[in-house]
């Protein structure tokens, strides 16, 4: 009986911690949006997070294999470079080790279309993300 009560207490605490911290750290995988590198469409993984459950504060993580990871601040229309050590892939999404809003977000390249982010990649490529 005592072990069961201890397990239940640990489960309740874990669930509470999850709900307190998850809005700032959890991004779910989505199946919309396109990514291109130098105007050529490529495969990419896109994840969305709502730090305060507000669409205006949405953050997206775009993972482009062999190119890079990018956090997009949709509300402020800014971008920051990420890397694989910023997050952990889990079924259905990613968990960021620090808040997804932390870091130095900068202005992206000028967009050519609505709902588009253009990013100057470190290897002199232009990454374009369209929603």
Angstrom distance (rounded) from CA 28 to CA 127: 21
Look at residue 24 in the predicted model and tell me its pLDDT.
82
pLDDT tens for each residue of the chain, 131 residues long: 577 777 777 877 766 566 556 778 889 999 999 999 999 999 999 999 876 666 667 899 999 998 999 999 998 999 999 988 899 998 999 999 888 888 899 999 999 998 899 999 877 889 999 98
Tokens of 124: 């002199």
Domain span at 59: 2-130
Look at residue 19 in the predicted model and tell me its pLDDT.
57
CB burial of 79-115 (b: ≥16 within 10 Å; e: otherwise) equals bbbbeeebbeeeeebbebeeebbeeebeebeeeeeee
How many domains does the structure of the chain reveal?
1
**Phi and psi for 43 in degrees, rounded to 5?**
-75, 140
Look at residue 127 in the predicted model and tell me its pLDDT.
96
Predicted model pTM: 0.81
């Amino acid at each position: 009986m005592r072990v069961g009560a201890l397990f239940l207490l640990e489960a309740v605490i874990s669930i509470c911690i999850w709900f307190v911290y998850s809005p700032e750290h959890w991004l779910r995988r989505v199946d919309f949006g396109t990514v291109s590198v130098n105007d050529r469409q490529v495969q990419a993984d896109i994840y969305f997070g709502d730090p305060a459950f507000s669409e205006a504060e949405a953050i997206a993580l775009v993972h482009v294999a062999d190119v890079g990871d990018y956090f997009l601040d949709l509300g402020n229309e800014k971008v920051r470079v990420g890397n694989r050590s910023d997050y952990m892939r889990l079924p259905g999404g990613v968990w960021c080790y620090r808040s997804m809003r932390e870091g130095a977000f900068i202005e992206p390249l000028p967009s050519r279309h609505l709902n588009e982010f253009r990013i100057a990649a470190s290897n002199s490529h232009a990454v374009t993300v369209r929603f």
